[in-house]
Amino acid sequence: MDTLQDDVITPQQACTLHGLFVERARRSPDKAAYRYFEQNDWRDITWREMLGEVARWQAALAGLGLQRGDRVAIMLRNCPCWMMFDQAAMSLGLVVVPLYTVDRPDNVAYILNDADVRVLLFETDEQWQALRTVRDQLGGVKRFVSINNVCDSAEKLLAGHPKEPRLKSMAEFLPKAANLQSGSPHPNPPPLEAPLSNSLPQAGERTNVKGNFQFLGEGANDPLRGICSNELASIIYTSGTTGKPKGVMLSHANILINAYACLDFFPVNENDIFLSFLPLSHTFERTVGYYLPVMAGAKVAFARSVAQLSADMHIIRPTILISVPRIYERVYGAVCTRLEEGSSLKRKLFNFTVGTGWARFLHQQGRGTWKASFLLWPLLQKLVAQKVLDHLGGRLRVALSGGAALSPEISRVFIGLGLPVIQGYGLTETSPVISGNHPENNFPDSVGQPIRDVQVKLGEQNALLVKGPNVMMGYWNNPEATKAIIDADGWLNTGDVVRISETGHIYITGRIKEIIVMSNGEKIPPSDMELAILNDPLFDQAMIIGEAHPYLVALAVVNPAAWQNFAREAGVRADMPEALVDSRVEGKVLKRIALDLRGFPGYAHVRRVLLLQEPWTTENGLLTPTLKLKRDKVAERFAAQIEQLYERH
């Protein structure tokens, strides 16, 4: 690859995800691998030190008598221990099951049982207290390991062996030191071969990745342990907005090849620093924010929390940011609020800066003409653009957005301020990246072009079908669901409705299962409408309702700061709950929503609105751990209020 430095580790050189880690430690032993916050200070840990810690975890896990292919689970916030446990497990041929720290106990119990997990690594006493509520469902777990000290004498009794309790702290579980029992990657990796099979894998099978592409052959393995690149590496449970989660089976090759292909879109080098804050249980963060930096030799800093993200941005000053749209929406909302509170001159200057920057972007992309206003860019950048980008650390050279659709308007603002925003698209089932925009061929309203070796085509109802080395092995213990999503020729149906332009760029136009059919037969794409509403700084969250009804209603969570200003202008007190249902307020809000939706057909008209102040979160069960809206749960929570919105029809 011309765009990559020689120090990038290829999938052939790595062979497995653990081989990737060992090879990076061999090449860059004394370079800082990770930065983390501990005991009121930021600390670095080198690749050599990481490998030593991995050896301790490896020795501890090996002492449990686990068999190759057994499942172990991680329920930690992002930290070096996540990587240590992950690497130690994979070095032994164990299969890693990541869990969200904010998931409900009953959901955690379901996953642990479905995957037959033998070891669970968690962090805090608070997590343990939550797990205790489903203790009777966790009989299959052989060992619980806590990062912090957790005292529970009842667990010792439950284990039946007081001298060897099921629950141990990390300090009790790990030996003081150990030697890594793993070889370096194969010194002469086998060449890429033609695919051996296009047959559909069954759940639980360890197969070669399939499709018309090149892949890591049977000979690619860890020379000491014989772990094949096409063996199962991880089972990742989809958070799902409805129903029980399904376990997505990804091989070492699935993830390695996917991470390597992503480097075509945003080359990474050893001087880059990532700020990691999306959960590592999120496949996007794990592939692109964990394995890809190892591949390129870049450094990763772990944010303390989402609440402290702004402060961490200023301290770490990352060069690459991986995020879901929600973070960009928050920054954009804060900018809009400040502009509304400022003078008209400041607003005009900001809009002029964004407009000029956007025109420069189009010109650089070969899609716009040169303008005299470009001569003012150095001044505009200093006075306006850089001040906004300083809130993101001031050194970002690329910002990646995935996991959900990013509003084109928000993309336009950040790109106009000089920050390249690269939107991509994928699914957990595709390791996860399917497509992405290239900085030099960036259409922000699209999700880009397919990454290398990935084929796409349109299926029934213009659903996007995908085939390539990134496609999962199947769903764990669920061959019926596997066959429902992957056909006999290896094409995976994403369920997303798309159009593909002449340039090969993919545009998401809807979701087959997320179409509202009104009682008059009109079909509405709620996600697109919600994105349009969320461009308005008054709203932090929104959901459209209208299935089998004659008109649409909106549920909207207001932005606290913007609500204060709006309520004052409407002549009501923002701190009074009844202000949210005041008829004067609803009338003004509906006018704003109508303006937000002016680009939609006339039948896509919101007639009523329910304003809310409490955010929808994972904690209150209204968002998935990947911050997607649980539509059925929101509708259920506010069923009585929604019914009232339709009563007077």
pLDDT tens digits, one per residue of 1-57:
344 456 999 999 999 999 999 999 999 999 999 999 998 999 999 999 999 999 999
- At 601-611, the pLDDT tens digits run 677 789 999 99
- Listed in sequence order, the residues at least 6 apart from 281 whose beta carbon sits closer than 8 Å to its beta carbon are 74, 98, 99, 100, 236, 625
Residue 649, pLDDT score: 54
Residue 600, pLDDT score: 76
pLDDT mean over 295-307: 95
pLDDT mean over 192-197: 29
Query: Best-predicted range by mean pLDDT among 91-95, 181-185, 531-535, 619-623?
Result: 91-95
299-302: strand order across its sheet: 41-46, 32-38, 299-302, 273-276, 320-323, 398-401, 421-426, 433-436, 449-450
Query: Best-predicted range by mean pLDDT among 183-192, 287-296, 322-331?
Result: 287-296
CA distance 251 to 208: 9
pLDDT mean over 431-451: 96
Give the three-state DSSP class for 634: helix
Q: What separation, in Å, do the N-terminal and C-terminal C-alpha atoms of the chain show?
A: 62
Retrieve residue 353's tokens. 């800066």
CA distance 289 to 149: 29
Residue 223, pLDDT score: 44
Q: Of 102-106, 505-509, 581-585, which gets the smallest average pLDDT?
A: 102-106
Q: Which of 568, 232, 505, 488 is nearest to 365 (CA)?
A: 505
Query: What is the chain's mean pLDDT, rounded?
Result: 87
pLDDT at 107 over 90: no
Q: Which of 548, 579, 549 is nearest to 563 (CA)?
A: 579
CA distance 337 to 173: 50
- Listed in sequence order, the residues at least 6 apart from 613 whose beta carbon sits closer than 8 Å to its beta carbon are 557, 558, 560, 563, 580
DSSP string of 572-584, one letter each residue: S-TT-GGGGG-HH
Q: Which of 242, 292, 239, 236 is nearest to 264 (CA)?
A: 292
Question: What percent of the chain is predicted at pLDDT more than 70?
Answer: 88
pLDDT at 97 over 50: yes
* Helix, strand, coil distribution of the chain in percent, nearest 5: 40, 20, 40
Residue ranges and CATH numbers for the domains of the chain are 17-182 (3.40.50.12780), 312-510 (3.40.50.12780), 516-647 (3.30.300.30)
- pLDDT band at residue 206 using 50, 70 and 90 as cut-offs: very low
Residue 26, pLDDT score: 96
Higher-pLDDT residue of 151 and 444 is: 444
Read off φ and ψ for residue 501, nearest 5 degrees.
Answer: -75, 175
pLDDT at 186 over 50: no
- pLDDT band at residue 460 using 50, 70 and 90 as cut-offs: very high
- At 238-263, the pLDDT tens digits run 865 445 789 999 999 999 999 999 99
* Eight-state DSSP code of residue 287: I
HSE toward the beta carbon, residue 342, CA cutoff 13 A: 13
Residue 225, pLDDT score: 57
* Eight-state DSSP code of residue 70: -
Q: Which of 422, 83, 146 is nearest to 276 (CA)?
A: 83
pLDDT mean over 520-545: 86
Q: Of 4-8, 208-212, 464-468, 628-632, which gets the smallest average pLDDT?
A: 208-212
Q: Which of 211, 263, 210, 183 is nearest to 15 (CA)?
A: 183
Residue 178, pLDDT score: 83
Higher-pLDDT residue of 181 and 506 is: 506
- Bond into 293 cis (ω within 30): no
pLDDT at 81 over 90: yes
pLDDT at 197 over 80: no
Read off φ and ψ for residue 564, nearest 5 degrees.
Answer: -55, -50
Residue type (1 letter), 447: V
Residue 619, pLDDT score: 87
